[in-house]
């Protein structure tokens, strides 16, 4: 990169050092709004519920506070703009302000945005995914304006409202005919450039479930391996304990049995992980159903239902269903069942599958529907699929961003593929770039195992990462502005 980018980097270094307290306070302000996307609570102007409306209003107000123009897309999303509001003549960034549900077992209050000065870290739901990156985008715009950097295009920070629940925000704007930037950076994964994302299958499976099993609940969001599951049996606690004690201890070590006024409650404790990387998790649904299936306690259709769910959850890579495959560009298929609920004699099980880029999500879903799922007694509801994302590694947008990343970090890391889905899947001309980086301090330095991840307990952002990613984004926006016509 030439001298002007070297000088821009030096300016950014000094500016960030002088504004670190503002970075922290702005992230805290966003995190303190519990913005779980809730389409079931939709109101006019708030298609994803009142909390998402609140966080969008707050974000747009902060944009205006810093002197930028703002656009409200009917509550589906908003934009903070430098240099005008013409989307078609802009270079964009998009960060989502919705978050996954909290779950149990946090050490720190999830929406207090507690700052830990000894680690220069903030703990709270959304700190890392994706409110911290939203703030770095805003501050990158501030720098370009304050440095008087000459721009051919406007710069547009888009704030999304339903990334965690299927990206209906962007699909709705596409259907409305909204215009999008010439290129949009998505800071919702890791550096350097993400050149490929798997396709996806989302669905719900239903199966009859009646008998002594009267309640079954697990998980809260489909794209997380569930770390908690519990059921209720209309049987005496002694009967249940006797049956479970007769099993191999490996089947029951994660279970807790307690009496209730409705019978006996069995709870399973697993380990949460993102559905794109399920090998890091332990499914509580799997732990509970395999013990129930082996116990001999069940009767009626609930016996078949638990056997079927146990069979499906035997692995998270499609081997149980006979559809496992991989490709060199994007790795192996993943197939996760993250949420289960029993209501009115029907057990509903969610499906989250990430399909390698050489696969066809629609054809695979057809195969599962007519094959393994049907064979085990399930019917399929609310099916949806999305196609994979791919951009060649030698695309000048990729090579330029890679060079900027190396210039700032010294890293020779190659472009990468992933199973996680970002806005790159649904937005035109969107490239995922950051904001994850290695840091000197790690969550494991001050949080126990199983805490600190973006969808887990005590989600944390290390501010060193935000500061470095902001420098990368300042240069990236300047570079893309020059590159694009």
Instruction: Pick the last residue of a domain from 368, 386, 404.
Output: 386
Instruction: Pick the last residue of a domain from 367, 386, 405.
Output: 386
In the structure encoding, which two tokens stand for residue 207, read together? 């199966």
Instruction: Pick the last residue of a domain from 355, 386, 417.
Output: 386
**What's the CA gap between 105 and 451, in Å, rounded?**
9
**What's the CA gap between 308 and 336, in Å, rounded?**
14
- Beta bridge partners, 231, equal 216, 266
Q: Is 43 found in the same domain as 187? A: yes
In the structure encoding, which two tokens stand for residue 268, read together? 């399973």
Q: Which of the four pLDDT bands, split at 50, 70 and 90, describes residue 1?
A: low
Q: Is 273 found in the same domain as 160? A: no
Residues constituting the chain? 485
| CATH code, domain with 335 | 3.30.70.360
The H or E element spanning position 279 is none
Q: Is 178 found in the same domain as 56? A: yes
Residues 6+ away with beta carbon under 8 Å from 388: 196, 197, 198, 199, 330, 355, 356, 357, 359, 361, 425
pLDDT of residue 305: 98
Q: Is 157 found in the same domain as 50? A: yes
In the structure encoding, which two tokens stand for residue 418, read together? 């992933």
User: Looking at the predicted structure, is the pLDDT value of residue 343 above 90?
Assistant: yes
Q: Is 240 found in the same domain as 125? A: no
Q: Is 403 found in the same domain as 274? A: no
pLDDT digits (tens, 9 = 90+) for 171-211: 999 999 999 999 999 999 999 999 999 999 999 999 999 99
**What's the CA gap between 52 and 96, in Å, rounded?**
10
Q: Do 187 and 347 touch, CB atoms closer than 8 A?
A: no
User: Looking at the predicted structure, is the pLDDT value of residue 66 above 70?
Assistant: yes
pLDDT digits (tens, 9 = 90+) for 97-109: 999 999 889 999 9
Q: Please name the residue ranges forming H helices in 283-359.
A: 284-295, 300-312
Q: Is 423 found in the same domain as 454? A: yes
**What's the CA gap between 59 and 80, in Å, rounded?**
9
What totals of helices (H) and strands (E) does the chain contain, helices first?
13, 27
| CATH code, domain with 470 | 3.40.630.10
Q: Is 275 found in the same domain as 146? A: no
Q: Is 130 found in the same domain as 16? A: yes
Q: Is 106 found in the same domain as 240? A: no
Q: Is 382 found in the same domain as 401? A: no
pLDDT digits (tens, 9 = 90+) for 463-482: 999 999 999 999 999 999 99
Range of the domain at 376: 200-386
pLDDT digits (tens, 9 = 90+) for 353-395: 999 999 999 999 999 999 999 999 999 999 999 888 889 889 9
Q: Is 305 found in the same domain as 368? A: yes
């Amino acid at each position: 990169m030439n001298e002007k980018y070297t000088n821009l980097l030096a300016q950014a270094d000094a500016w960030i050092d002088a504004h670190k307290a503002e970075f922290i306070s702005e992230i805290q302000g966003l995190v303190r709004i519990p913005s779980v996307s809730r389409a079931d609570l939709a109101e006019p102007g708030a298609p994803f519920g009142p909390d998402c409306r609140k966080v969008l209003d707050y974000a747009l107000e902060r944009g205006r506070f810093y002197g930028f123009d703002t656009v409200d897309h009917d509550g589906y999303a908003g934009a903070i703009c430098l240099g005008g509001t013409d989307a078609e003549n802009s270079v964009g960034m998009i960060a989502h302000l919705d978050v996954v549900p909290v779950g149990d077992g946090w050490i720190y209050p999830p929406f207090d945005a507690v700052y830990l000065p000894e680690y220069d870290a903030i703990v709270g739901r959304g700190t890392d995914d994706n409110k911290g990156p939203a703030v770095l985008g805003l501050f990158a715009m501030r720098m370009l304006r304050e440095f008087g950097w000459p721009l051919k295009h406007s710069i547009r920070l888009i704030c999304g409202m339903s990334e965690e629940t299927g990206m209906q925000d962007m699909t709705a704007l596409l259907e409305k005919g909204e215009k999008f930037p010439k290129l949009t950076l998505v800071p919702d994964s890791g550096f350097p450039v993400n050149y490929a994302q798997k396709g996806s299958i989302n669905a719900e499976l239903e199966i009859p479930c009646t008998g002594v099993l009267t309640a079954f609940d697990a998980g809260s969001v489909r794209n997380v391996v569930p770390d908690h599951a519990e059921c209720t049996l209309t049987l005496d606690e002694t009967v249940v304990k006797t049956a479970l004690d007769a099993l191999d201890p490996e089947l029951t070590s994660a279970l807790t049995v307690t009496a209730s006024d409705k019978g006996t409650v069995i709870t399973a404790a697993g380990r949460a992980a993102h559905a794109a990387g399920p090998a890091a998790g332990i499914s509580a649904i799997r732990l509970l159903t395999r013990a129930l299936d082996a116990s001999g306690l069940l009767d009626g259709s609930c016996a078949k239902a638990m056997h079927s769910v146990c069979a499906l959850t035997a692995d998270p890579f499609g081997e149980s269903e006979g559809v496992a495959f991989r490709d060199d560009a994007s790795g192996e298929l993943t197939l996760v069942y993250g949420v289960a609920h029993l209501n009115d004699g029907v057990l509903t099980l969610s499906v989250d599958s990430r399909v390698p880029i050489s696969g066809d999500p629609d054809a695979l879903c057809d195969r599962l529907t007519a094959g393994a799922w049907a064979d085990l007694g399930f019917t399929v509801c609310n099916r949806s699929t999305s196609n994979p994302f791919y951009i060649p590694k030698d695309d000048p947008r990729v090579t330029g961003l890679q060079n900027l990343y190396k210039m700032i970090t010294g890293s020779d890391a190659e472009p990468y593929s992933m199973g996680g889905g970002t806005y790159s899947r649904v937005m035109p001309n969107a490239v995922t770039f950051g904001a994850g980086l290695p840091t000197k301090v790690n969550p494991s330095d001050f949080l126990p195992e199983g805490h600190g991840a973006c969808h887990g307990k005590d989600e944390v952002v290390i501010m060193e990462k935000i500061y470095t990613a902001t420098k990368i984004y300042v240069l990236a926006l300047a570079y893309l502005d020059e590159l694009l016509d």
